[in-house]
Amino acid sequence: MKEQHKPQNEKNSVQKLILTPNIADPDAFYAELIAMQSHLDDDSAQAAISQLLLVLANHIGDMDVLREALAVVAGEHPAK
């Protein structure tokens, strides 16, 4: 049986997906996100966004939170 990996930041408490505004300066983040991909063609920009998603998913590390986020994006979550 394959041993299941435990995230480094695993806590005893259950994490929940935060759906309320939680970025101190969302306009600045959006501007940096756009600037990061402004010099890229469409395919490269999409690849950069996908890579960012994977980096952030790895940082989160909690499959329940990630599944909840997927449900929100797919329109299957009551919060959307």
- Domain extents for the chain? 41-80
User: Tell me, what's the pLDDT at 7?
Assistant: 58
**5-9, 55-59, 67-71: range with lowest mean pLDDT:** 5-9
Which is nearest to 8 in space by CA: 69, 70, 62, 64?
Answer: 62
User: Tell me, what's the pLDDT at 17?
Assistant: 94
Q: Is 78 helix (H, G, I), strand (E, B) or coil?
A: coil
Which is nearest to 15 in space by CA: 54, 53, 59, 64?
Answer: 64
Q: Mean per-residue pLDDT for 60-78? A: 93
**pLDDT (tens digit per residue) in 10-56:** 555 567 999 999 999 999 999 999 999 999 999 999 999 999 999 99
User: Tell me, what's the pLDDT at 24?
Assistant: 96
